[in-house]
Amino acid sequence: MSARSLLHRIANRSTLSRALVAVTVVAAVAGATAAVARDDTDDRARWEKKRQDYVAGVNVPLLSSPNVNLVTTFPETQAISGIFAKSAPYFYISSLDSISVFDVSDPLQPTLTGTLPNLVFENEAMNYGEQRTAKGVERFVLVGNDLYQASPNDPDHVNVGGGELMVIDVTDPANPHIRSRVDVPTSAHTISCVRETSCEYAYSAGNGGAFSIIDLRDLDAPKVLHEKVDSPAAGPNPVFTRGSGHKWNFDNAGYGIHTGSGGSAIFDVTDPTSPGLVTTTGAGGVAKDWNDFIHHNSDRPNADKFRGGAAPSVADGNVLLVTEEDYENTDCATAGSFQTWHVETLDGKPSAITPLDKINPVQLGTGAALPQMAFCSAHWFDYHSTGIAAAGFYEGGLRLIDVRDPKNLKEYGYFASGLSEVWDAYWVPVRNQNGVATGQKTNIVYTADLIRGLDVFTVDLPGTDGGSGSPLLPLAPGSVIG
């Protein structure tokens, strides 16, 4: 890591104290490393140059399919990751130097309501949780510290070296603050609640063939329940010779999917304190072209409708959606892909998850691309019930992928800019009159862009009347958007 480039960035942010600058330089000189977090020396130089050009208003090309409409942009927050609250209309964004809270009661015009200055790397997947107490609903986000973390709101707890979970209390949207923290014995690159609406336990990304289970029942004093639980997903491949897990995603049928260098693995998490391995991607999960770097994140739509032994169908809950990140590959035609896998059975049969199809939609000749694109791996995505996944492809921008035929993936739409790095994309949820997410999603997409900030789009979805710029899904009585 370059101490000079990091120092330049921080010294020009008035929200952070001089003490944080010194701490960060120490971290840079120490050369701390994380299991998955990239060496960001070259990354930071690229980010800085692109951000400067964007702020200066440098004229760059924009590519957009007719079914994608840019509504507005909030450039103030350079976004790495974000997540929606379940029980209230809020959206939380993590950047390299802050965590921000947006009121999304009007999702086409998010309003910044609170900011926590928080220097952290990398927190590329901020995760949400809530607990119901006698005082009401307590909301919080989980922040994984890979390399370093410091905040002027908590000067006595500076971490250089990573391996830590921070619980950020966002119950008061105007006052997000660090509530507690705990050291994690395996990679804390991402930390995920097993059940978001009753988050008592969380799993770490893990490494070396194992992950950790964190007990969050006391949010003021979280603790490690199990230091190491075996997972094939955190096993080795030719790149990660010691093995590295990356993300846990949990479905609505009591299963958790762990993705990492060893491919993908499905666990029964009915008892979150004692997860049981069900099946994996086996040898296919580390095969060339299907995992050249790491299985990044996943989703199994309609998991509660699972039909084992049936032909692959998203509607039948037997298709696993996966992104394979490979940001080291600068060839957009072969960089990390978006993939579908067939979950043949959940009866304990080994290697029952088999590959179906994959797509690199930003390759020249088959999808719109800009000549300078050289950093365009698949990254985070979000699935919509119409069969369209919204995904971030870094310099490849926002890509919409049609997964209705899981054996024949197609690009459905896109938005890309010459000055952009889209890390994540999110469909805005539909909420009831109390502000609680119903499980449905609108046609509004947010993107977390490290250069542009927070972008808001509307999308003409299959089976709807496009062009209105308003939510297209039927709403329950009293429903609101946000």
For 28, phi then psi, to 5°, come to -65, -45
pTM as predicted: 0.88
pLDDT the model gives residue 327: 86
Give tens-digit pLDDT for 107-145: 999 999 999 998 777 888 999 999 999 989 999 999 998
The residue behind tokens 């997409």 is: 445
Give tens-digit pLDDT for 230-273: 999 999 999 999 999 999 999 999 999 999 999 999 999 999 99
Q: How confident is the model at residue 34 (pLDDT cuts 50, 70, 90)?
A: very low
Three-state SS sequence of 442-470: EEEEEEEECCCEEEEEEECCCCCCCCCCC
β-pair partners for 390: 382, 400
Helix then strand then coil, % of the chain, to nearest 5: 10, 40, 50
Give tens-digit pLDDT for 359-418: 998 754 455 556 566 688 999 999 999 999 999 999 999 999 999 999 999 999 999 988
Which helix (H) or strand (E) segment holds residue 11: the answer is helix 3-11
Q: Structural domains in the chain?
A: 78-369 (2.130.10.10)
Dig out the tokens for 20 from the structure: 């944080």
Contacts of 126 (CB under 8 A, 6+ apart): 81, 82, 83, 92, 93, 94, 99, 141, 142, 143
